[in-house]
Structure 1
């Protein structure tokens, strides 16, 4: 009888161990994260990624794992792969470490936005860079690429005859980059196309003040002055 009882105890214990082995214990996520971190610190970002992914699968609230997963993709210049985990890392990050997550997310958004701009995906570029701007509205690091994307977007809209949308784009550029004379030239052209010659003339004057030797600004101003004199 004692032998049977001992056998039953062994079976129960072994069964418990097997069950525990199948559980996603917190230590498992930490082990996966540390393995990934070791590879990350050696510059082996590709090899680190599966470990960080595993850590987030085991513990979906593991903010640091998402952060380093995003950083790994970022270091490999995989902007789209970096964005989702970095957004999650930002959401999960405590107040004391949020600034780190914010800056890395901004870097990824700028990279993704610039890549989209290079491919001619203007609306996507503007959307990504606007997201970065909402995170750091005073950052010159963000303002410059966003202004550039909006300038190109406004130019495209104007060429498509979408004058009112172009006006909005150029006006936003003048707010982000008040010394960008091309924004005022574009604004003058789009206002003229919208039928608002008086405001167009004012925009052309602003362009000339910023770039008095610009042939483009001079020609727009001359045209508008001629129209006003009629």
Structure 2
């Protein structure tokens, strides 16, 4: 199973992945220790059929439909641990539903098969923030099941969450050598290639996915995202529309279509898509997504009052569900909006409240650590906004210490961004540029800040190029939308 999302080469050559971790592991496995495929532990033929159907839907990002099948499995077989794991992986990440279903999978894992227990242990280790342990468990899983394609799919999913594209790509390529016609491999290889800016490779991968599943709306969604990333807005709109024509209940396509309209400066159409999703949304998750899509259109027009009003409605839904992670997410966005307007005290209050919500939540320690890291990021930005460099440095020191326990690419990139911000405030432009070069190159803030450096150095032309790059990344995050209009101007 892969995380809710969100695409190297499609070569099937063993030579490609042998130098990676997974290739070396396969060479080291005694044949006697290898197992063919993970055994499914389920009480009845009917429950097994529902489990398989739900798994296939989830593999192609139909998470809402998959949830219904996994719930059916649990109704027929309440002791089916793997169904709870799959259900956890198909709901909103870090949500209360995720926590509750994963805990139930852990409780029942004694009744699961060896391979199923291993998958649950991996998810548990990742939820607890034990990155080294997670990688060790993944290595063991590959050694035990080197011919199970879904093991490689699961492994790639965990590495994608860690933003470790090298190992995720290696796992997908290894899996593709086992079964080149398994659609999810092409989908996710395309995602990785697109993320790296390798657009011809991404196009080839997604074309393969579409050939394998010609009537699958997710293939048009993925292709649309590729067009959007390349700035081909008309083509993106067409692809997203085709996805909805194939399945009007493929809800993620409404948000994607709205983002394409927004990128193309068609705000009325973007807002219409958000309103349409709000009317069709079958559950709280999608209603909140609709409000966030609306918020994006308001941020684009600097209509902050309307953005905050939509956020309040989103917050009401999260509070009704007693979903601590979502409540904290809303608080942090309110803080970001206040900070963008120079309202430091209001922003600080929101950031502190968000942290407190997560500190007292019934959540895995990894989620709480992530909340702490998010707070430290915001506290650093507040320190810089108030010219309190000593406070900013203290927060960065704490961030570095906590992030060092995990050593994931994403956390390391964010640390460099924070260090670059300090150097920029100190007018140490070369040092700042070096730090931003090590931060995420998929984050529009990186290019916006590089533009600011060039402007400070008197290079207005280069500044404009970087600002334009920031504006054209079309990142669906609200940190992007808060700076998009500024970058365009």
Q: TM-score range by the shorter chain?
A: 0.3 to 0.5
> More helix by proportion, 1 or 2?
1
- What is the TM-score normalised by the length of structure 1? 0.40
| Structure of greater Rg | 1
